[in-house]
């Protein structure tokens, strides 16, 4: 049976399909045209910039970090260039295998692998990380010959920080290290301009002046516009802006004096701060033991970090800035000026010293070296009478003591130009309420006031605070914020920007009151506890020895330095100023667990004054005796300071003939 087709109907269906297909084709073509217009016309500039950015790479050029120099131009921190072998983890398929193969070409020690792993954990996956640093020329040539075997591995020339004097002054100089994740997060809060200036920067100041003056030392980052191939290789340099080196810091520190004091301590623990009272410039800022900041520049290895961190002597602790100690008898001159200033006791008022003071059923004693008898203020300071100052503390009360001595800088930060300073403790009734949580601990008991008079009890201060207070007293109330940096040198413009210590309002001290205290402190060096250390000195100075308990004794228990464990022995302290007629240096020094202040701390102070005021450097034999705590006045033939080489730096510039250099060179 034959089926008849409807030709007209099929033709109509065919035309409909043809029109639909043509419409679809036209619609797709319209989309392509629209997309073409969008890309080529409306988004032309955007994609042109992208194409250009793919062709041109902007490479940051990290600037040379600024130098750090002492007051005499001796370089304390500098830079040098060296080759590093670096791996980009994003471009390496098998990281462990690559490292093992690299070990067949160059020596890669286990500590190098541990450091690389730590950096890998801290860094972004796309960062290029060093597996070996400071390659020799031979090692560079050896790797270059095998370069084709290691995609993602390359040799780069990088700047490294160097501390040529090693451990000398490490706590005040600080060190730099690779930026960690916490620091990267903190940098997100920086303004855009500052953040842009740190593009390409991998190292930042971590401690001391390196940290405090980071933005001065960093410099201004430069850049290069480089045309690249499709594979990312540089073809040619199109333009560049050179980086601007960081500024140079000129310190008030005399690094020869710093090195001398550190040598006098040797293996003992302690701190010394010396200040020019005329302007607040810090001449020496010593914390012992020290550490080598060069260990941190390249990333300290685990063994070295463990050794430093677990050392019982705590070499990483900046004792001058963060170590707090009871001041002992060095507090007595300040108690005296507080009594005079408040009118609670006159200079001629006599107290009978029977070597004991009873209060609230408890007896407060005196050291075995004390002598009984009537004593006025001068005699009490010269002989370091405990009973005189027990009674004075009882008369004044804790809050008056606090209010009179807090303006000297006790119990608060001095404002020195490095971070990390602690406040210490100058107690008061309000202080105790805030210090303790339990109600029974918050109450101040009258018996607690007595020991404050001799610098014990809750009193705890840093040597920086003690030196600042001594400076204020020596000048009759003139106050400055202590500073470590004298000026900042712009290495491009070759000009110096002076950074003066901030002058604070002077304390309203009566000159006749101040003179009583300073004369008494001068008597300490002539007839008192430090007379042996200052015997034969060609200048007049004032000072006060102190012996502070490191561990409290039980009632009725007697102290024996011989039997005590070393870390439980008393601390040796000394505060001083010189010369008496016009003070140019004030200092505070502590030797931890060294016993009497006259035996260990005062001899160090004598040698500091000899250096600063006469330009004399102790003989080798005298240094050896002082290191053992077996010296008083200097022995042997002293050397000229400028003739003694600095440790690790035989070619450093010579010091001025007299460190009266530090005194005469200082601006009042």
- Supply the DSSP string of 238-265, one letter for each residue: EEEEPPBPPPEEEES--HHHHHHHHHHH
Q: Which of 345, 350, 349, 348 is nearest to 374 (CA)?
A: 350
Which residues are registered as beta bridge partners of 176? 205
- Supply the DSSP string of 29-65, one letter for each residue: HHHHHHHHHIIIIITHHHHHHHHHHHHEEEEEEPPPP
Residue 300: exposure state from Cβ atoms within 10 A (0-12, 13-18, ≥19): buried
* Residues 6+ positions from 363 with CB-CB distance below 8 Å: 356, 357
Quick check: bond before 289 cis, omega within 30? yes
Strand pairing report for 270-275 and 585-591: antiparallel
> Residue 328, Cβ neighbours under 10 Å: how many?
25
> Residue 292, Cβ neighbours under 10 Å: how many?
18
Report d(CA 42, CA 224) in Å as an integer: 31
Q: Say if CB 581 and CB 525 are below 8 A apart.
A: no
Q: How far is CA 251 from the centre of its chain?
A: 13
> What sign has the CA pseudo-torsion 197, 203, 204, 210?
negative
Which residues are registered as beta bridge partners of 479? 504
Please identify which of the residues 287, 329, 336, 600 carries the catalytic annotation. Answer: 329
Terminal Cα-to-Cα distance of the chain (whole angstroms): 129
- Supply the DSSP string of 523-536, one letter for each residue: HHHHTSTTTTTTTT
Q: Which two tokens stand for residue 554?
A: 């039980």
Instruction: Specify the residue for token string 């990380």.
Output: 129
| Strand ranges, E, within 479-523 | 479-480, 485-490, 495-498, 503-504
Q: Which two tokens stand for residue 641?
A: 């300071």
Is position 366 annotated as part of the catalytic site? no
Report d(CA 486, CA 250) in Å as an integer: 6
Q: How long, in residues, is the chain?
A: 668
Give catalytic residue positions. Answer: 329
């Amino acid at each position: 049976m034959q089926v008849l087709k409807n030709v007209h109907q099929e033709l109509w269906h065919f035309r409909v399909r043809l029109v639909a297909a043509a419409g679809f084709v036209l619609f797709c073509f319209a989309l392509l045209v629209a997309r073409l217009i969008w890309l080529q016309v409306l988004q032309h500039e955007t994609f042109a910039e992208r194409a250009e950015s793919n062709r041109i790479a902007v490479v940051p050029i990290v600037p040379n970090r600024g130098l750090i120099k002492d007051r005499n131009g001796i370089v304390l921190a500098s830079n040098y260039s060296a080759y590093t072998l670096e791996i980009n983890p994003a471009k390496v398929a098998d990281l462990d295998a690559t490292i093992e193969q690299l070990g067949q070409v160059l020596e890669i020690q286990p500590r190098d692998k541990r450091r690389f792993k730590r950096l890998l954990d801290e860094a972004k996956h796309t960062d290029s990380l060093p597996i070996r640093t400071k390659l020799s020329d031979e090692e560079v040539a050896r790797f270059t010959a095998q370069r084709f075997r290691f995609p993602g591995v390359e040799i780069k020339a990088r700047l490294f920080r160097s501390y040529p004097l090693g451990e000398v002054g490490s706590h005040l100089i600080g060190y730099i290290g690779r930026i960690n994740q916490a620091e990267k997060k903190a940098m997100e809060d920086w303004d855009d301009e500052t953040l842009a200036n740190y593009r390409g920067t991998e190292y930042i100041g971590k401690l001391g002046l390196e940290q405090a003056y980071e933005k001065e030392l960093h410099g201004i980052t430069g850049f290069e516009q480089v045309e690249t191939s499709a594979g990312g290789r540089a073809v040619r340099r199109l333009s560049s802006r050179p980086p601007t080196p960081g500024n140079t810091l000129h310190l008030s520190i005399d690094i020869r004096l710093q090195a001398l004091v550190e040598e006098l301590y040797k293996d003992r623990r302690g701190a010394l701060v010396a200040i020019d009272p005329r302007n607040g410039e810090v001449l020496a800022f010593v914390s012992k033991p020290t550490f080598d900041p060069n260990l941190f520049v390249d990333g300290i290895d685990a063994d070295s970090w463990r050794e430093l961190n677990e050392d019982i002597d705590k070499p990483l602790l900046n004792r001058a800035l963060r170590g707090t100690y009871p001041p002992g008898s060095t507090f007595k001159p300040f108690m005296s000026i507080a009594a005079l200033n408040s009118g609670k006791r006159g200079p001629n008022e006599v107290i009978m010293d029977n070597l004991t003071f009873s209060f609230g059923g408890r007896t407060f004693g005196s050291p075995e070296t004390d002598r009984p008898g009537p004593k006025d203020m001068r005699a009490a300071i010269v002989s370091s009478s405990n009973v005189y100052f027990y009674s004075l503390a009882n008369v004044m009360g804790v809050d008056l003591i606090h209010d009179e001595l807090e303006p000297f800088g006790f119990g608060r930060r001095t404002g020195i130009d490095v971070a990390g300073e602690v406040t210490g403790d100058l107690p008061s009734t309000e202080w105790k309420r805030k210090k303790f949580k339990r109600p029974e601990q918050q109450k101040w008991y009258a018996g607690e006031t007595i020991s404050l008079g001799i610098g014990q009890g809750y009193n705890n201060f840093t040597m920086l605070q003690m030196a600042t207070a001594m400076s204020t007293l020596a000048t009759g109330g003139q106050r400055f914020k202590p500073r470590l940096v004298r000026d900042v040198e712009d290495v491009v413009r070759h000009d110096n920007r002076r950074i003066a210590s901030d002058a604070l309002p002077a304390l309203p001290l009566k000159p006749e009151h101040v003179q009583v205290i300073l004369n008494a402190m001068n008597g300490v060096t002539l007839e008192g506890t430090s007379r042996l250390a200052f015997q034969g000195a060609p200048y007049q100075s004032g000072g006060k020895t102190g012996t502070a308990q490191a561990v409290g004794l039980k009632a009725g228990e007697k102290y024996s330095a011989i039997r005590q464990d070393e870390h439980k022995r008393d601390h040796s302290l000394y505060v001083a100023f010189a010369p008496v007629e016009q003070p140019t240096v004030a200092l505070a020094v502590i030797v931890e667990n060294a016993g009497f202040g006259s035996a260990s701390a005062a001899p160090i102070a004598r040698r500091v004054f000899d250096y600063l005021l006469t330009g004399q450097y102790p003989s080798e034999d005298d240094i050896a005796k002082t290191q053992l705590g077996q010296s008083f006045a200097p022995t042997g033939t002293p050397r000229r300071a400028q003739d003694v080489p600095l440790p690790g730096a035989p070619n450093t510039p010579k010091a001025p003939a007299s460190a009266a250099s530090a005194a005469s060179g200082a601006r009042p």
